[in-house]
């Protein structure tokens, strides 16, 4: 199954307040494994960058001033998404901004049926715990040492690893590997059984000591001075 894990950076908290997208990062996964295909773009928001937003992602108005508009990147972005399920952390936020931009340039919006919200999954799986991306990375041992500031592509890559853990983790791969290994072994055994040459049946070897071996052992024990074990009782009577 193909899925897209994505993240966005913005100028603020709500598109209804005039805030815009400034970065999109997306990761392609097939059967919960990253394929290496990504989509990443910085966008000119055509407005100023509030200090609160700059402190989060470090994308300045000057840096973004020569970047493409969302309208120019929308066709490539939609082509990358295809009709796959879309995974995001607090997906309502990202869907809201992407759909606002799509509507602004005359494209159809992303339907909520495609939305997979890892925040909702985390709240169900770990009630009462912290559910930020940083907290989930810590919980599942995902390395976030390169995450100094928020960045859409880096956050999407981290989220892809967290998503795998939230939905079964490495155990999914282990089960598949075990099943495959079992099939390989079973096939090899069956093939070996067909090709193994017939050998003549050999009678089992005797494992009881002979009378001569028992006599030698008794002589050896009798020659030990002051043994730790008691002498055996006389069996002759």
Residue 194 has pLDDT above 90, yes or no: no
Give dist(CA 41, CA 25) in Å, integer.
Answer: 7
Question: Among 72, 66, 76, 68, which Cα is nearest to 39's?
Answer: 76
By annotation, the residues acting in catalysis are 150
* Domains of the chain by start residue, with CATH: 2-173 (3.30.420.10)
Evaluate the CA torsion angle 75, 17, 43, 25 in order and state its sign. Answer: negative
First to last CA, the chain: 83
- Specify the pLDDT at position 145: 81
Radius of gyration of the chain (CA): 34
Q: What is the pLDDT of residues 123-148, one digit of tens each?
A: 999 999 999 999 999 999 998 887 76
Specify binding-site residues for a divalent metal cation: 7, 9, 155
Identify the pLDDT of residue 207. 65
The CA distance from 70 to 18, in Å, is 15
Instruction: Report whether pLDDT(193) > 80.
Output: no
| pLDDT 10s digits, 90-110 | 999 999 999 999 999 999 999
Contact of 156 with 5, CB cutoff 8 Å: yes
Q: For residue range 197-234, what is the model confidence (pLDDT) as tens digits?
A: 566 666 666 667 778 888 887 888 788 877 776 666 55
9-19 per-residue burial string, b: 16 or more CB within 10 A, e: under 16: bbbbeebeeeb
pLDDT at 237 (0 to 100): 44
Cβ atoms < 10 Å from Cβ of 24: 25
Q: How far is CA 188 from the centre of its chain?
A: 31
Look up the pTM and report it: 0.70
* pLDDT, average across residues 66-88: 98
DSSP 16: G
Which residues fall in the annotated binding site for substrate? 7, 9, 52, 57, 155
Q: What is the pLDDT of residues 36-48, one digit of tens each?
A: 999 999 999 999 9
The string over 99-122, giving b where at least 16 C-beta atoms fall within 10 Å of a residue's C-beta and e elsewhere, is bbbbeeeebeebeeebbbbbbebb
Contact 71, 20 (CB under 8 A): no
Q: What is the mean pLDDT of residues 71-85?
A: 97
Closest CA to 167 of 87, 82, 91: 87
């Amino acid at each position: 199954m193909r899925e897209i894990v994505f993240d966005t950076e913005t100028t603020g908290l709500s598109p209804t307040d005039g805030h815009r997208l400034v970065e999109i990062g997306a990761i392609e996964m097939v059967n919960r494994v990253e394929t290496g295909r990504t989509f990443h773009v910085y966008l000119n928001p055509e407005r100023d960058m509030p200090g609160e937003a700059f402190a989060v992602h470090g994308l300045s108005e000057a840096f973004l001033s020569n970047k493409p508009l969302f309208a120019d990147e929308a066709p490539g972005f939609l082509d990358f998404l295809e009709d796959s399920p879309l995974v995001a952390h607090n997906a309502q936020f990202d869907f809201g901004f992407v759909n606002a931009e799509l509507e602004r340039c005359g494209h159809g919006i992303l339907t909520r049926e495609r939305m997979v919200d890892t925040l909702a999954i985390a709240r169900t799986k770990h009630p009462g715990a912290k559910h930020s991306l940083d907290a989930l990375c810590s919980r599942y041992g995902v390395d976030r040492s390169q995450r100094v500031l928020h960045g859409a592509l880096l956050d999407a890559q981290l989220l892809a690893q967290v998503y795998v853990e939230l939905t079964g983790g490495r155990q999914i791969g282990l089960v598949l590997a075990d099943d495959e290994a079992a099939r390989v072994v079973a096939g090899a055994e069956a093939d070996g059984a067909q090709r193994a040459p017939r050998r003549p049946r050999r009678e089992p070897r005797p494992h009881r000591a002979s009378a001569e071996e028992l006599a030698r052992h008794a002589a050896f024990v009798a020659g030990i001075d002051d043994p730790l074990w008691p002498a055996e009782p006389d069996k002759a009577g």
